[in-house]
Each structure stands twice: as structure tokens, then as C-alpha cells.
Amino acid sequence: MNPFSILLVLFLTIPLLEIYLLIKVGSIIGALPTVFMVVFTAVLGAWLLRIQGFATLARVKRTMAQGGIPAIEMLEGAVLLVSGALLLTPGFFTDAIGFLCLIPSLRRTMIRWILGRFLTPPGGFGGMGDPHRGESSSGTHRPNTIEGEYRREDD
């Protein structure tokens, strides 16, 4: 299916689902408690997002201080950005998705699944194992050093 078609369906169905849920919850607990719950989930989500954001930033700094590339942490930041937008959008469905994105283990699992699903070439890495972990297909650890020679041309 075309990505634009998927986005069109999402932009049409999610607001309809949110309106339906707001009406259903409002008819059960009343209008004022429903409005309070929507505002409360936005405030709670913003507070939790702030905590998760600072924790992710600390992991980025720690990874960089150790000389690593904070790829997963950067992707976590992007997921947290989307989570914040979902949490600030009024409604219960988007809040549920936003709160699920705030669970660190679930967020990392989702990122790894997406990376494996969409960024791994078909057939894997050609028997090389995972090049990001320095592993060969036999599972042994290889150093991430490329040996070679160079010569300066400007001297």
C-alpha cells in the first residue's frame, strides 16, 4: 500500500476514534471528569517525557564520552519527540500510544525491530554478523580497526 494512502487513512481514522472514545468516556463518567482526565494525561505525559528526555540525553553524553556513537539513543530521542506530540494531542488513544512510547524497554525493542525490519539488507550482512557490534558470523569479537597506509599530498 502507498505510504500516502496509509497516512490518509490514519489522519481520518485516528480523529474519529478519538472523538468516539471521548464521547463514550464522557457519557460514562461525565463531561467535566473527561476534560480533567484529558488535561491530567497531558500534564503527566509532559512530566514523564521531561524525565525520559533527560535520561536519554545523559545516555547520549555517556556513550559519546566512551567514544561510541549514540545511534540508539538518538533514535530514542526521535521516538520521545513523537511521544510528546501524541501526549499533547487531546484524546485517549493517542495518550495510550504516547505512554507506551515512554516505557524505555518497549521503546528500545520497537527501535531495534524497526531497524532490523527496514534497515537490514535482504539476506543479512553477508555472513559478516553484526558490523555494529564487531561480531563475525561465528560470534567471535573482532576489533573495529581498519589497517592501512596514507601519505599527505600537500607537503
Q: Which domain holds residue 49?
A: 13-114
**pTM (2 d.p.):** 0.70
Residue-wise burial string across 30-50, b where 16 or more C-beta atoms lie within 10 A, e elsewhere: eeeebeebbeebbeebeebbe
Amino acid at 116: G
The pLDDT tens digits for 41-88 are 999 999 999 999 999 999 999 999 999 999 889 999 999 999 999 999
Count the Cβ atoms, other than its own, within 10 Å of residue 125: 13
State the total domains in the chain. 1
Residue 132 covered by a domain: no
The pLDDT tens digits for 80-112 are 999 999 999 999 999 999 999 999 999 999 999
Residue 33 covered by a domain: yes
Residue 107 covered by a domain: yes
Residue 122 covered by a domain: no
Residue 125 covered by a domain: no
**For residue 22, which of 12, 8, 9, 37 has the smallest C-alpha distance?**
37
- The pLDDT, as a whole number, for residue 26 is 95
Q: How far apart are CA 126 and CA 136, in angstroms?
A: 10
Residue 154 covered by a domain: no
**How far does the chain reach from its first CA to its final CA, in angstroms?**
57
Kindly list the distances between the CA atom of residue 41 and the CA atoms of 9, 22, 52, 110, 133, in Å, as whole numbers in the listed order: 26, 13, 16, 23, 39
- The pLDDT, as a whole number, for residue 124 is 53
Residue 155 covered by a domain: no
**For residue 47, which of 104, 93, 99, 112 has the smallest C-alpha distance?**
99
Residue 89 covered by a domain: yes
